[in-house]
Structure 1
Amino acid sequence: MAGNSGTFDAGEAIFLVVAAGRGARAGAGGPKQYRELAGRQVLTRTLEALLNGAPEARALVTIHPDDLDLYQGAVAPLPDSLRERLLEPVFGGATRQDSVCNGLEALAALGAADDASVLIHDAARPFVAPGLIARALDAAREKGAAVPGLPVIDTIKKVAEDERIVATPERATLRAVQTPQAFRLALILAAHRAVRADGCRELTDDAAVAEWAGHCVFVFPGEAANIKLTTAEDFLRAETRMLNDLPDVRTGQGFDVHAFGEGDHVWLGGVQVPHDHGLVGHSDADVLLHAITDAVLGAIADGDIGAHFPPSDPQWRGAASDRFLRHAVARVAARGGRVAHIDATLICERPKVGPHRDAIRAQIAEIMDLPLDRVAVKATTSERLGFTGRQEGIAALAMATVRLP
């Protein structure tokens, strides 16, 4: 299980991420925090945004008891430097309020200081920005209890059961509240314990819990971009927003050839395919991954596979080619972009690719952290013409589409 227990410093900042809900309003597809958003799970994006936004902070996630495998899958793509700052996840309760209380109790049991700044955040808010996180941390230290809020633009009406308007609150005094909500640990833990002991009704957020316990809660500026993904329409809007943030669409091509030699298998797309010959190369000679790697590097005009992994360097002798492709994808990510689609073709008489196509596509999608429907793999013969027709080797062509800021 990803995470650590560790020790806590006085005043340390800790994110408590609430991810135990079922997200029924988002429609079919499982809990919304584990759904993909532009190729990555929502929780992955949320944790990355939080931990990058506060480099000294750690995070604890409350999850549903049935979701441990989903949680591990969500944190796996995070860099080691971020995963190391995750505490062991805690099982949530029947309600969000219970889940937060369980998380706070876990922090206290782990030895978090009373004056630790705890930022309680919805897992389904992946667009939290560093500036908002900084304001939340300042508010936790200065006020003890504070929440981000936005001025209300629309006129609000209070209605009776028969939909008759009974009041029009003054708009200037209203705020639409977001997360992360910021507290000193001792204050919010005591408030949640008091609510739990009293058995009062479910309160809608942690500010309400603190208010119920008699604390003053302050508001600091929120951000309109810090949306919560609740419905299927929210996911569509979020996808569109992310695509609009990456308007520079580029295409790269790759081509590679490897000759047959001795062996009993070939590597194609990271999959070991039985054959009466092997492929000759300095690495594992995975002709398909080599072509895709060059296509990705070509899309960002960043040289080719030989420039990044010279055949003259002995450290790459026999190396698994997925390392090369992961490196190319990381080069795209380092520029704030992402790979949008891969289309690749193998050219050979044998071995037959069809029986292995699904496994190859799945492996490439895993290596590149792409949805399966963004990876196309085809195969053709050369009608017994040329070196592939004479079964002297295999060729591969690839096209990569990349989106950059």
Structure 2
Amino acid sequence: MNTAVIFAGGSGVRMNSKSKPKQFLELNGKPIIIHTLQYFQNNSEIDSIAVVCIDGWIDYLKDILQKNFITKVKWIVPGGTTGQVSIYNGLRAIYDDIDNPNDTIVLIHDGVRPLISEKLISDNIACAKKYGTAITVVPLMETIVSINDSNNITTINNRSLSRIARAPQTFVLSDIMSAHIRAIEDKNLNFIDSASLMLHYGYSLKTVDGPIENIKITTPADFYIFRAIYEARENSQIFGI
């Protein structure tokens, strides 16, 4: 079984949108979360989806899922106090409702990261089935430096050995649940992402190359980039460019 947890629990403070959380902002008449979900809906390898939704917007989410024919969403759960807790809520809903978590692959993805592809989803599944994990990455285009408290550069990282971790991040369900339970027991509730959590608890992480445009829409500038890339993709289909 292959399932997905789509995180749509953020309030989008940096987007400066007063009317809606960022995941519900629209492009071409469809909310960002729907643009994202359609890739999972259309991928034949995905059996089901859990969405972690910001509290107070669950009914709205159910309405737009129906209007856009997103039928694979089986679980909708409210978010938690942190992103990590929210992801755990989604994983827990799946874990409590299936027979064999050892044979279940789960893809964890941001609802506001819509510039993915069905191929990336399939590549994650194949990698996780073979190695147990799959972390989507892209190469660095800039030099990354580390600094100290005095703003002095202490380290310049080797760009050829560095990557930017993105999403999906994919695991065997029983493994990621075990790591979350250990984190709760240890009161470690602020890991930046699932990859950091799994690495902390000793899991080996395999990488999958993703598209460079696979950005997370966090600021107004990100939204304009998304719109430009979306329109370029549409034009390439229409005009064959």
Asked whether the equivalents of residues 145 and 207 of structure 1 are also in contact (C-alpha less than 8 Å), the reply is no
Taking the TM superposition and a 5 Å limit, the aligned residue runs for 1:36-51 are: 36-51=26-41
Asked whether the equivalents of residues 128 and 171 of structure 2 are also in contact (C-alpha less than 8 Å), the reply is yes
Partners of 1:112 and 1:153 lie apart in 2 by 44
Identical counterparts, % of pairs: 26
* Cα distance change of structure 1 residues 203 and 133 upon mapping to structure 2, 3 Å threshold: same
* Cα distance change of structure 1 residues 39 and 404 upon mapping to structure 2, 3 Å threshold: farther
Asked whether the equivalents of residues 46 and 123 of structure 1 are also in contact (C-alpha less than 8 Å), the reply is yes
Amino acid aligned to 1:65: D
Q: 2:81 aligns with which of 74, 94, 107?
A: 94
Is residue 228 from structure 1 mapped to residue 224 from structure 2 by the alignment? no
Taking the TM superposition and a 5 Å limit, the aligned residue runs for 1:33-112 are: 33-79=23-69, 82-83=70-71, 85-112=72-99
* Cα distance change of structure 1 residues 243 and 153 upon mapping to structure 2, 3 Å threshold: closer
Amino acid aligned to 2:27: L
Q: 2:100 aligns with which of 110, 113, 116?
A: 113
Unaligned stretches of 5+ in structure 1? 1-11, 249-335, 338-402
Partners of 1:105 and 1:73 lie apart in 2 by 24
What's the counterpart of residue 129 of structure 2? 141
After TM superposition, the score normalised by the length of structure 2 is 0.92
> CA shift at 1:244, angstroms?
3.1
Amino acid aligned to 2:4: F
Amino acid aligned to 2:173: L
* Cα distance change of structure 1 residues 55 and 109 upon mapping to structure 2, 3 Å threshold: same
Partners of 2:115 and 2:176 lie apart in 1 by 25
Asked whether the equivalents of residues 246 and 404 of structure 1 are also in contact (C-alpha less than 8 Å), the reply is no
Amino acid aligned to 2:105: S
Q: 2:185 aligns with which of 188, 193, 197?
A: 197
The 3-state SS of whatever aligns with 1:89 is strand
Asked whether the equivalents of residues 13 and 137 of structure 1 are also in contact (C-alpha less than 8 Å), the reply is yes
Q: What does the per-residue CA deviation read over 1:7-59, in whole Å, with 9 as the maximum and x for residues that have no partner? A: xxxxx000110111111111124211111122210111111112212454211
Q: What does the per-residue CA deviation read over 1:80-99, in whole Å, with 9 as the maximum and x for residues that have no partner? A: xx41x211301120111001
> CA shift at 1:243, angstroms?
2.6
Cα RMSD over matched residues? 2.0
What's the counterpart of residue 181 of structure 1? 169
* Cα distance change of structure 1 residues 247 and 134 upon mapping to structure 2, 3 Å threshold: closer
Taking the TM superposition and a 5 Å limit, the aligned residue runs for 1:150-169 are: 150-169=138-157
Q: 1:215 aligns with which of 190, 203, 213?
A: 203
* Cα distance change of structure 1 residues 158 and 52 upon mapping to structure 2, 3 Å threshold: same
Q: 2:14 aligns with which of 19, 25, 30?
A: 25
Aligned residues, how many? 239
**RCO (CA 8 Å, sep 6+): is it higher in 1 or 2?**
2
Amino acid aligned to 2:11: R
> CA shift at 1:112, angstroms?
4.8
Partners of 1:404 and 1:168 lie apart in 2 by 42
Asked whether the equivalents of residues 12 and 218 of structure 2 are also in contact (C-alpha less than 8 Å), the reply is yes
Partners of 1:244 and 1:36 lie apart in 2 by 17
The 3-state SS of whatever aligns with 2:177 is helix
The 3-state SS of whatever aligns with 1:153 is coil
Asked whether the equivalents of residues 60 and 87 of structure 1 are also in contact (C-alpha less than 8 Å), the reply is yes
The 3-state SS of whatever aligns with 2:73 is coil
Q: For the pair shown, which has the larger CA radius of gyration, 1 or 2?
A: 1
The 3-state SS of whatever aligns with 1:106 is helix
Partners of 1:247 and 1:186 lie apart in 2 by 42
Asked whether the equivalents of residues 34 and 70 of structure 1 are also in contact (C-alpha less than 8 Å), the reply is no
* Cα distance change of structure 1 residues 123 and 112 upon mapping to structure 2, 3 Å threshold: farther
Asked whether the equivalents of residues 138 and 209 of structure 2 are also in contact (C-alpha less than 8 Å), the reply is yes
The 3-state SS of whatever aligns with 1:244 is helix
After TM superposition, the score normalised by the length of structure 1 is 0.56
What's the counterpart of residue 241 of structure 1? 229
The 3-state SS of whatever aligns with 2:95 is helix
